[in-house]
Structure 1
Amino acid sequence: MTPRATARLQFHAGFTLDDAVGVVPYLSRLGISHIYASPITTARRGSTHGYDVVDPTRVNPELGGEAALGRLSEALRGHAMGLVLDIVPNHMAVGGSDNPWWLDVLEHGRASPHASWFDIDWQPVEPGLAGKLLVPFLGGPYGEVLESGELVLRFDEGSGAFFVAYHDHRFPLSPESRRDLVGDPATVLAMHDPMREDGRQRLHALLERQHYRPSFWRLAADALNWRRFFDITGLAGFRVEVPAAFDASHALILRLHAEGVIDGVRIDHVDGLADPRGYCRKLRRRLRTARPGMEPLIWVEKILAPGETLPATWLTDGTSGYDFMDEVAAVLHDPAGADPLGRLWADISGCDADFPTEVLAARRQILRESLAAEVTLAALALKRTADADMRQRDFGLHAIRRVLMELAVHIVTYRPYLGVGPRSTTDTQLIRQAIAKARPGLPATDGALLAAFDAWLGAEPVSVLPAAQRRTRIMAQRRFQHLTAPLAAKSMEDTAFYRYGRLLSRNEVGADPAIFATTPERFHAAQAARAAALPRALLATATHDHKRGEDLRARLAVLSEMPEAWERSLRTWIGTSSPPDTSVAAMLLQMMVGAWPLDLQPEDAAGLRGFADRLAAWQRKALREAKRRTRWTLPDEAYETVCEDYLRRLLVPGPLLTDIAAFADRIAAAGAVNGLSQCLLRCTAPGVPDLYQGTEFWDLSLVDPDNRRAVDWAARERALDAAVPPGAAMHHWRDGHIKQAVIGAALHCRREAGSLFERGSYELLAVEGPRRAHVLGFRRRWGDAQAIVVTTRLPAALLGQEPRPLAPAAAWQGSAIRLADDAATAWRDVMTGTVHVAQDGGLAVARLLSELPVCLLMPERPA
């Protein structure tokens, strides 16, 4: 069945599958049709997110195992609901002692049946690593760790096997080396005691005979010879393109689909796969085969660059919703705020670099520091493809590496999609634009090499090459694509987002902060395109990965309408608070006014402490992600402490804090209008609305782990039980019940008119009058069924001093929605029950939005 709406739930030991059973009746009454679950296969013990999978063949016992999944499935079916699972085909957690496939590779090396399942280069540039894996999990240099006795030989009584242990890490011994360990276990262990010189030498000699080489974790950035997820060494790339690897890692998912337990999947980080198109098509085919007659749901987690579209040939239902999250946020920003806020940021930060410049600098830094090993892997693969052609073998490795790095920084999407067939027009344009931008930064002598890169990256079809060359070329292309995807993510979302602070509401996953706002016309065009191409795509406005909660972003968007007022306040606060770094202070103060709890008073000492703790965790992460004065790999704790001390000084009761709190309160009502508009647009636009857990109340969360805090489900159930209509909830709007009421009313409407919202067209409604820029209106139509959606845009200019998120009637200055000739004349607002009758072919906005800042109209049927 086509989902009506999904609810994303984060599963972990503190919220299990059985816990979700108790939430099912509430979600059903709210209007949710499917639970959209975080990964539930066996992850590393204590995982709070599930993406560090160690065994994809079993349901995580920490979540209750398969028995609990069965109970959840039964509860869902009892409420006519479905289940979609987040799956992780791109990588697995390694290190530790809990991934049997990885441990088998360590034990048997290339002879392991699982060796081809991990993306390992067995002939790396480091001569000492030939035929071995680098396992950089040691906390210090190898020699120091060995001398300290932290690397130690152990004997497993259960299996009767010796292994080397390092804290929680298990390093199995090869069968050949185990055979040489003669004698009783106690004697063997004593002979390899690292606290004695002779024992240490024996232990070192034993380790040298293994199919792996333990090393200091810092060496990973330079010498790692296997693909990982981004720069996280604890997550190894998984080669799902290998048939046996696909079958083993998907057996559980296919069986659960065949048994009717799940209805589809969301594919995590699809751009990390060697062949996203081939994988998605194969997965759809296998799911169809597993459950004939049931078309599975397949969503992909993909960040679309500006102008990029999801390829239709992948045969997916769409993305997981970051594109919609960007579109709806951008249309709620005032483009007039871009330049003044940009000048303010440049002046206060002392940096006049625009966002593209920041990204380019971040890309170069990430390539040098975080992804140097990945650069080496790609350069070696490209060198091998050059050596396979007598015309190109004189291109040197260092030259290839130099051109590769310059070319990679100019790939503007996550990656191209290269394969055996001809290169697409889109990818040709992408790569040749990157070559053109790279050329000025390279010596003129690299011109021939740039032309070779164009050929290697698809200008010369792989299909025309001899078999051996074809394999080498395909691997080179894959290594290139495996480099550009993490480079895009690490440089933009995990670095530049934390350096550039023009307006933090635009620094969000899926967005390009260089694009400050979009017009209603472009927003409407994007929705119409989705209705035509991907009507079952997910629509998200909050996720487990967002940098800022959806209503925090909605509140900060108000600053785009009042840049002068924000500048006056920001300069005053910075000028009177002696910050250690003005750019850090500017970002922090944005977060303070954006996240200020609606019930927090500036005299509430306990509340302020809790708020300060949350902000301090966000700021520490922000400083380290920016990678300027401090970073995760080399933290400057003294600097971080100075910044935290400043944060806590700001939150001491006094005149400064009172002024900050007053400003937050000043923009709170307009922020709530944006939040409700964003909410209704998500629930009614083409696609499937996705509710992130708990965000049916105001979502002023910060970056993870703050956005993954426990949800007070009981409070939400009580609010739903009260059945307060949206109009009445306006009187106590600060508690968030009004948002839940709007969601409930909209989803109830979707339940009653399913085909209209699942398949209906999307048509822009014309707005007339002086306030037309402040209205977003559209019609959905399917046959004789139709609905009209009207929301408020840019509310600050409308509200004035109004303390509620509702513009006074006079503010609309006679603006009206112009109806199409075939539209109904009488409409009932499903939020309030009010009937509106068209006059002269139009509906007055002041009347439509007299009780709420949004409305959803359905034709009024004659009594």
Structure 2
Amino acid sequence: MTGPRATVRLQFHAGFTLDDAVPLVDYFASLGVSHLYASPLLAARPGSTHGYDTLDYSRINPELGGHAALARLVARLRARGMGLILDIVPNHMAVGGSGNAWWEDVLAWGRTSPCAHMFDIDWSPPDDSLRDRVLLPFLAEPYGDCLDGGTLELRHAPDGTFACWHYEHRFPICPRHYADLFDPDDTPAPIADLLEALRTATPDTAAPALARLAGWARTPDGTDAIARALAWMAPAHPAGRARLHALLERQHYRLAWWRTASDLINWRRFFDITGLAGLAVEHPDVFDAVHRTVIALYAEGLIDGVRVDHVDGLTNPHAYCTRLHRALADAAPRRPPHAPPGAPLYVEKILAADETLPADWPVDGTTGYDFLEQVDVLLHDQRGADALDDLWVWGAGGATSFHAEEQATRAAMLDGTLAADLARLVHVLSGVARRDPHARDFTPAALDRVLRRILIQFPVYRTYDHDGGKLLHEVCQSVRPALVAAQQPVLDWLARQLGPGGPAQAIACLVHLTAPLAAKAVEDTGFYRYGRLLSRNDVGTHPGRFGGTVAAFHAANAARRRDWPRAMLATATHDHKRGEDARARLAVLSELAQEWVRVATRWRDFNAPLRHRASPDRADELILYQTLLGAWPVGDRPLEQRMTPDFHDRVAAWQLKALREAKRHTSWIDPNPAYEQACAAFLAGLLSPDPENRFPRMMDAFAGRIAPPGALNGLAQTLLRLTSPGMPDLYQGCEFWDFSLVDPDNRRPVDFPARIAALAQGADIGTLLPHWRDGRVKQALIAAILRFRATHPDLFATGAYRPVRVLGTRRQHLLAFARVMPGITMLVIAPRLPAALMPDPTDLSCPAMLWRSTTLDWPDAPPGPWRSLLHPGRTLDRAAVLDLAMLAGSAPLDVLVTA
């Protein structure tokens, strides 16, 4: 086995363990996959469905089967010549609740904890009440109400420690304060000296005393004394509440209502998720602690590569990737002989429209969101943009552009969930300004006003050292015209401080703000507000762009072949907003824009009686219609059998999440039950099984109209992912059609037995095209290409990329390129904008007459014979290939090879 040829992403959790994957290895091997690409496997919060809430970096999650189960899975992989790439989470850990030993040690000992520097905590924040303390915004109600209501409760643990509990949250009490838990008139004589010794204990010296305390607590006298102490501190009576409050006020943290987080939090989170605390992995010892098990697994031969989650959350991604690359290389000599060499390293990175991955990062590339954007925009017809703009702006009352929507959401984030992060940046810069005679008159308010302008215009997730401050300069220049004269010197000063050579702390605060700001404003808000065409709203895409060109796609492929030939290629992920084939179907609306305007307007009028007091509003209604259309269960069965309660429940769950993420009428923080219930009732009315309800038949008719070209789009994007320069990734279950919605819908259990049975039948694409609705044709396409990749890995790894020009009346509807190396050439032909190709609903074939004047302009095409990978037995000579004879009367895609 060499490096990865193709991966399959699997989401592990208690309902799908490592042992559950063992029987699937043979299937994936038969499909042509070379590596499993596993979701995070280290110990996460109990019940985690995704693994990104790590609690313990030192062990494999026991809910997944632990180390032994991983060894069993890898043994099976090795037997089939396969490997495993592991998703790791170095940016953050799960906090709140209980079970994070590092975090709880910080809470117990404060800045003296050996773990204090492991988390990105601001010990000197703007709010003096938090100086040398950690804000813990985990209380369900305001602090005083929790205290009065008795939901703050002191408990003693078998290990000798005391903690205050609030439902599932554990807040350790500093051992130096244990003596204060006992009534001075009732201090137990056997441990009086121990309690006094603990008053001056340190994290290094407290362990023996705590062990002795634990032993004493297990004695009858100790048990009684502990019970009396807890009763003395109980909040059930005023004196107990007062004592408990005084104790909590002395801790290294401040308990607070969850709503205070946005305004006061003094530690970095993952985006705005208070249950995930940012790690300071830039410190070498923190890096080692976080990666020790990962490196050991690599040395042991149990993993073969790494995928780094949210690399932009790290203070210095380049330094981090360099350190990780070096650590893996240093561990390589310890790998067992049967383990493959090398250590592919991928980073999850969202690239802006014109952004590229820094060339000096020692990685193999991104996880493929950039490719998702490149192929997605290729499938959209730019000519439909104006009509869909009109429908959205005038028909739905939406924002005039995604850029305007993004700016509005960025401003809202800075005022809302990320207000404390902005305040931290202002506080740091204010401190710098006070020490600068030329800037000391720049007040915090003045800095805040200009910073907001910069942040609202920021076009990427974050800056890096390599660009020499060019990006920041461009942003500052773009905001300059909007500033008054008095703000110009502030802007100039900020540009110097936040650019190359500026204070490290200020730059770190900036990059730790711009990344979550981009994610929250775009992916987690803007994508749910802007509904011009939802197929352009997904992770890695840029909804402001509408349609792409063949030339641009070729250029992107050539650049990847040159710069990142081993980068992942993805069109579906565990984070996508809607399935790859749902997007492919919706992309057809870009070709049928005028017709869609008429259909959507007719539906809106027809369903007016279902709306309650204008709820949902027109924007949410149009977004709902598109979601239903993309996920609609098209098939041969009667409509009544396809419109299942499960389908309604899935869409209803999506609707609630979409409404709250959009934050227009309701939100997670401030739900609006009346609006949510009206929208839920509207959806129920749309999907009512009542025979008098005509809308499902209307939806079914239009979905059936666009499903055939949508299927061709789906096959095209699959084909391009499998053959373009890079390494294709298959998301679990997407061998069949993927009409999933946003998580958790896209992480539902996969029917692997059905997929195994379909592959075992061995049917080719030509045989399966008449049954295209069941998805087996997509699986056959994947298997045909991946098996060929397995026998010719060098063609895909190092073969040249040659765009092939299409001539004639249908040139806009085909894309062709060749992969070439000495002795072998592969020609790829894929359709685009397929509505105009009039695919037959029975088998996706297109009329032969379409191709009569369309040819390939390929003067140096090999003479052949050419054989088809998709249609076994089909061979053609050079003339037939250039004349596109193979497309006549068939689905317009093929892969031809000649040796």
Q: TM-score range by the shorter chain?
A: over 0.9
| Structure 2 CA distance for aligned equivalents of residues 682 and 530 of structure 1 | 13
* 1:805 and 2:806 matched: no
> Please, which moves more after superposition, 450-459 or 566-575?
450-459
Instruction: State the secondary structure of the residue aligned to 2:255.
Output: strand
* 1:121 and 2:122 matched: yes
* 1:283 and 2:313 matched: no
Matches within 5 A, 1:591-630: 591-599=627-635, 603-604=639-640, 607-630=643-666
User: Which residue pairs with 1:218 in the alignment?
Assistant: 259
Instruction: State the secondary structure of the residue aligned to 2:643.
Output: helix
User: Which residue pairs with 1:465 in the alignment?
Assistant: none
User: Which residue pairs with 2:199 in the alignment?
Assistant: none
Deviation digits for residues 332-356 of structure 1 (CA, Å, limit 9, x no counterpart): 1111111111111112112352110
The Cα shift of 1:441 comes to 3.9
* 1:178 and 2:214 matched: no
| Cα contact 2:771–2:843 (8 A) shared by 1 | no
* 1:687 and 2:726 matched: yes
Query: For the structure 1 residues 591 and 176, does the alpha-carbon distance in structure 2 shift closer, same or farther, using more than 3 Å as the test?
Result: same
The Cα shift of 1:453 comes to 0.8
The Cα shift of 1:802 comes to 4.3
> Please, which moves more after superposition, 285-294 or 447-456?
285-294
| Structure 2 CA distance for aligned equivalents of residues 835 and 616 of structure 1 | 47
Query: For the structure 1 residues 744 and 606, does the alpha-carbon distance in structure 2 shift closer, same or farther, using more than 3 Å as the test?
Result: closer
Matched residue type, 1:262: I
The Cα shift of 1:428 comes to 2.6
| Cα contact 2:399–2:530 (8 A) shared by 1 | no
Matches within 5 A, 1:130-279: 130-156=131-157, 158-182=158-182, 183=187, 184-279=225-320
| Structure 1 CA distance for aligned equivalents of residues 636 and 824 of structure 2 | 45
| Cα contact 2:851–2:887 (8 A) shared by 1 | no
Instruction: State the secondary structure of the residue aligned to 2:285.
Output: helix
Query: For the structure 1 residues 602 and 476, does the alpha-carbon distance in structure 2 shift closer, same or farther, using more than 3 Å as the test?
Result: farther
| Cα contact 1:288–1:294 (8 A) shared by 2 | no
Matched residue type, 2:486: T
Instruction: State the secondary structure of the residue aligned to 1:409.
Output: helix
- Please give the TM-score of this superposition, normalised by the length of structure 2: 0.92
Deviation digits for residues 117-150 of structure 1 (CA, Å, limit 9, x no counterpart): 1001111111111110000000010000110000
| Structure 2 CA distance for aligned equivalents of residues 790 and 427 of structure 1 | 42
Matched residue type, 1:434: V
The Cα shift of 1:114 comes to 0.6
The Cα shift of 1:427 comes to 5.2
| Cα contact 1:599–1:734 (8 A) shared by 2 | yes
Matched residue type, 2:445: H
Matched residue type, 1:47: S
| Structure 2 CA distance for aligned equivalents of residues 746 and 179 of structure 1 | 70
| Structure 2 CA distance for aligned equivalents of residues 660 and 253 of structure 1 | 49
* 1:413 and 2:460 matched: yes
The Cα shift of 1:411 comes to 1.1
| Cα contact 2:861–2:878 (8 A) shared by 1 | no
User: Which residue pairs with 2:811 in the alignment?
Assistant: 772
CA RMSD after TM alignment: 1.5
User: Which residue pairs with 1:365 in the alignment?
Assistant: 412
* 1:490 and 2:520 matched: yes
* 1:376 and 2:412 matched: no
| Structure 2 CA distance for aligned equivalents of residues 279 and 6 of structure 1 | 24
| Structure 1 CA distance for aligned equivalents of residues 650 and 605 of structure 2 | 24
Query: For the structure 1 residues 241 and 686, does the alpha-carbon distance in structure 2 shift closer, same or farther, using more than 3 Å as the test?
Result: same
Query: For the structure 1 residues 582 and 602, does the alpha-carbon distance in structure 2 shift closer, same or farther, using more than 3 Å as the test?
Result: farther
The Cα shift of 1:843 comes to 2.1
| Structure 2 CA distance for aligned equivalents of residues 321 and 665 of structure 1 | 31
- Choose the corresponding residue for 2:445, options 383, 395, 398: 398
Matched residue type, 1:238: L
Corresponding pairs, count: 842
- Choose the corresponding residue for 2:377, options 297, 313, 330: 330
- Choose the corresponding residue for 1:428, options 463, 469, 486: 469
| Structure 2 CA distance for aligned equivalents of residues 565 and 645 of structure 1 | 28
Matched residue type, 2:61: N
The Cα shift of 1:2 comes to 1.6
The Cα shift of 1:92 comes to 0.5
| Structure 1 CA distance for aligned equivalents of residues 786 and 852 of structure 2 | 31
| Structure 2 CA distance for aligned equivalents of residues 217 and 301 of structure 1 | 30
User: Which residue pairs with 2:66 in the alignment?
Assistant: 65
Matched residue type, 1:409: I
* 1:753 and 2:792 matched: yes
The Cα shift of 1:752 comes to 1.3
Q: Provide structure 2 residue ranges, at least 5 long, that are not aligned to the other structure.
A: 188-224, 334-339
The Cα shift of 1:367 comes to 0.7
User: Which residue pairs with 1:479 in the alignment?
Assistant: 509
| Cα contact 2:523–2:538 (8 A) shared by 1 | yes
> Please, which moves more after superposition, 287-296 or 159-168?
287-296
Q: Provide structure 1 residue ranges, at least 5 long, that are not aligned to the other structure.
A: 419-423, 463-472
| Structure 2 CA distance for aligned equivalents of residues 35 and 803 of structure 1 | 35
Matched residue type, 2:844: P
Instruction: State the secondary structure of the residue aligned to 2:730.
Output: strand
Instruction: State the secondary structure of the residue aligned to 1:341.
Output: helix
User: Which residue pairs with 2:765 in the alignment?
Assistant: 726
| Structure 1 CA distance for aligned equivalents of residues 135 and 839 of structure 2 | 63
Deviation digits for residues 136-175 of structure 1 (CA, Å, limit 9, x no counterpart): 000010000110000011111x112221111111111112
| Structure 2 CA distance for aligned equivalents of residues 711 and 239 of structure 1 | 37
Deviation digits for residues 335-389 of structure 1 (CA, Å, limit 9, x no counterpart): 1111111111112112352110010011000110110010011111212222333
| Structure 1 CA distance for aligned equivalents of residues 397 and 755 of structure 2 | 45
User: Which residue pairs with 2:823 in the alignment?
Assistant: 784
| Cα contact 2:41–2:61 (8 A) shared by 1 | yes
Query: For the structure 1 residues 521 and 254, does the alpha-carbon distance in structure 2 shift closer, same or farther, using more than 3 Å as the test?
Result: same
| Structure 2 CA distance for aligned equivalents of residues 278 and 687 of structure 1 | 25
* 1:348 and 2:395 matched: yes
Instruction: State the secondary structure of the residue aligned to 1:445.
Output: helix
| Cα contact 2:764–2:872 (8 A) shared by 1 | no
Instruction: State the secondary structure of the residue aligned to 1:458.
Output: coil
The Cα shift of 1:655 comes to 2.1
| Structure 2 CA distance for aligned equivalents of residues 607 and 369 of structure 1 | 40
* 1:439 and 2:486 matched: no
- Please give the TM-score of this superposition, normalised by the length of structure 1: 0.96
- Choose the corresponding residue for 2:702, options 657, 660, 663: 663
User: Which residue pairs with 1:466 in the alignment?
Assistant: none
Deviation digits for residues 592-647 of structure 1 (CA, Å, limit 9, x no counterpart): 11111123867416833221111111111111111110001011111111001111
Percent identity of equivalent pairs: 49
The Cα shift of 1:823 comes to 2.2
Query: For the structure 1 residues 601 and 536, does the alpha-carbon distance in structure 2 shift closer, same or farther, using more than 3 Å as the test?
Result: same
| Cα contact 1:815–1:846 (8 A) shared by 2 | no
| Structure 2 CA distance for aligned equivalents of residues 99 and 379 of structure 1 | 31
| Structure 2 CA distance for aligned equivalents of residues 810 and 243 of structure 1 | 66
* 1:819 and 2:858 matched: yes
- Choose the corresponding residue for 1:298, options 328, 341, 345: 345
* 1:10 and 2:57 matched: no
| Cα contact 1:602–1:661 (8 A) shared by 2 | no
* 1:545 and 2:568 matched: no
| Structure 2 CA distance for aligned equivalents of residues 619 and 601 of structure 1 | 26
Deviation digits for residues 14-51 of structure 1 (CA, Å, limit 9, x no counterpart): 00000011111100000000000000000000000000
Instruction: State the secondary structure of the residue aligned to 1:312.
Output: coil
| Cα contact 2:862–2:878 (8 A) shared by 1 | no
Deviation digits for residues 256-299 of structure 1 (CA, Å, limit 9, x no counterpart): 11111111111000000000000001100110001139321110
